[in-house]
Structure 1
């Protein structure tokens, strides 16, 4: 592909739009749209259902996360990333648990768990834009939802429901919910066991710009979670890129592209259960294998294409990007179509993705 000058390439991939269009930072945008998050808990081990940071135990070694869970009383954490096209912001929120666990005989467990949600926010001239569509990760399936006033209709996949909102500090926030133990995520209230009712066990998390808190128990209705940039210094994306440029034996967090390292130590799979290894994925490894056309990691690398696959009647919907921290990181580490990280999805032409990043919108 044609080589851009270094200044133009950096401008194109990182952030190069007019000051008038940059009224808020990605962090401010992510905080404004951050969900009220309902987390079901199981009374037999509620601490394994609390959300936290992947390095909650003060290291980025992912094969000791099951072992180090302790009482789970670390600051509640959610991850975000913001990719911007000429027409939309695509904001991912991801929730980490050290354990994907089970209390059922002959079931399977695994170390580490990260599932999440992505919002398509139209840049409509307002400060924070307008939500048009939402997709969530429920294990190995994606589910799609729309708010009441969205023009979107079903695309290659059916729309699975509507988005609900909850007022918090004057902001109408989307409501998301995760199941206990396996932590599949859907729009509230589309998982079965926790909608916030008084007779149910669960934790309700609210975003904060102040100090995060931790649950007082597995039945806490007001816990503040902090937002951490996935692509920030020392974050998960940085860990992925660092692990991708060294032999797998020296990698600390990821076993291969998009997949966390995870082993059977610490009691994972104890008794007559089993424990799978390297089973949890990051957004650049999320995949719905039976949705017809989307590919592994498209969630992070090409979210505009993902939304145009899942929805129809999207109106003017650009697939050109003006801010893309994932592609910026890959390019800065010297990756291109002829030199890809180990395990990078074969369906992805990285040079073509680079070609979707523009210095200015038409």
Structure 2
């Protein structure tokens, strides 16, 4: 090889190396993208019976500030007039082996349509925890789900999951469905009308009227009580002005993890009674029959996963990202002293 060819080879090789270094690598998905990818296709049963149903509006999911404020004690009153654009709240915590994504579906009312032995109340917060194993792909693989239905948790495994039952038995198979708004298969959940217990579909499902919600970057309000394609927005619990930042806001929360609610606006009229301060945020969720403590479904989901499931391989318990840990002492006190809340 003559000198000119040798020099050209060196220059070309160097240029290729420089371009390789300069070319940006494909960025890994952020937490918002993870939450959007795994967010459920969500079926909401709707009941139009009785004055408290408001023609079905009382079963629509929305933001806690759907009425333009962060006052938890006027949400029942404003359900008929507020903006019920669909939304759900999420938090992502992380260990070296897994992402844990919690979703909260909020309703301004938990209501009944008869006078017998059931209590309704202002505000309603129920949801689901998903455990996603890091497997070298952008979004990992979904291994399990635990849902919140009132004061009980229900556990589910998708087909093919390597996890099996542990201290808690598996309550069913987590189904997946395509969304018309993206290219992913999503887990499928459902909530009953009125009381809004949440389970994996089809353990709850739409019976007659209902709304099917799909995750998206922006939300929309249902066109009516039987709308089967409504997009819902994902809102980060840990945002600078998000729910976690508002946890000590006494107009929104009666105590740590418990939404504030009262009996104004007709709550309880014509029914058995209206409860106060009767709904929980994720850091207040509790199943008194299970080992994990109050709020740990959101605040320590690795512990919940270790208790609920037999997990092959690594289930790291040390968090690389968990903003809830900043209030660990206060959460522990709340778990020991807060009165039981039956959602």
Structure 1 residues 77-226: aligned runs within 5 Å: 77-106=87-116, 107-168=118-179, 169-191=182-204, 193-194=205-206, 200-209=208-217, 211-226=218-233
Q: For the residues of structure 1 that align with 2:48 and 2:271, how far apart are their CA atoms?
A: 21
Shift of 1:290: 0.7
Equivalent of residue 43 in structure 1, options 38, 48, 52? 48
Give the corresponding residue for 1:278. Answer: 277
Q: Does structure 1 conserve the Cα–Cα contact (< 8 Å) formed by 2:258 and 2:281?
A: yes
Equivalent of residue 69 in structure 2, options 56, 59, 74? 59
Q: For the residues of structure 2 that align with 1:180 and 1:187, how far apart are their CA atoms?
A: 15
Shift of 1:50: 0.2
Shift of 1:346: 3.2
Q: Does structure 1 conserve the Cα–Cα contact (< 8 Å) formed by 2:126 and 2:197?
A: yes
Q: For the residues of structure 1 that align with 2:309 and 2:332, how far apart are their CA atoms?
A: 31
C-alpha offsets along residues 142-177 of structure 1, whole Å, 9 cap, x if unaligned? 000001110111111110000111112220011000
SS in 1 for 2:178: strand
TM-score (norm 2): 0.85
Give the corresponding residue for 1:238. Answer: 245
Q: For the residues of structure 2 that align with 1:286 and 1:118, how far apart are their CA atoms?
A: 11
Q: Does structure 2 conserve the Cα–Cα contact (< 8 Å) formed by 1:152 and 1:312?
A: yes
Give the corresponding residue for 1:304. Answer: 302
TM-score (norm 1): 0.81
Unaligned 5+ segments in structure 1 are: 1-18, 244-250, 331-335, 348-362
In our comparison, the structure showing a higher alpha carbon Rg is 2
Q: For the residues of structure 2 that align with 1:31 and 1:316, how far apart are their CA atoms?
A: 25
Q: Which runs of 4+ in 1 moved over 2 A?
A: 19-22, 71-74, 340-343
Shift of 1:316: 1.1
Q: For the residues of structure 2 that align with 1:276 and 1:216, how far apart are their CA atoms?
A: 30
Shift of 1:236: 1.2
Report whether the alignment pairs 1:23 with 2:35.
no
Unaligned 5+ segments in structure 2 are: 1-23, 338-343
Q: 1:36 to 1:66 in 2, by over 3 A?
A: same
Q: Does structure 1 conserve the Cα–Cα contact (< 8 Å) formed by 2:67 and 2:78?
A: yes
Give the corresponding residue for 2:335. Answer: 345
Shift of 1:233: 2.1
Q: For the residues of structure 2 that align with 1:346 and 1:35, how far apart are their CA atoms?
A: 32
Give me the CA root mean square deviation: 1.9
Deviates most, 312-321 or 19-28: 19-28
SS in 2 for 1:136: strand
Q: For the residues of structure 2 that align with 1:69 and 1:201, how far apart are their CA atoms?
A: 19
Q: 1:20 to 1:132 in 2, by over 3 A?
A: farther
Q: 1:178 to 1:109 in 2, by over 3 A?
A: same
Give the corresponding residue for 1:13. Answer: none
Q: Does structure 1 conserve the Cα–Cα contact (< 8 Å) formed by 2:114 and 2:270?
A: no
Equivalent of residue 228 in structure 1, options 228, 232, 235? 235
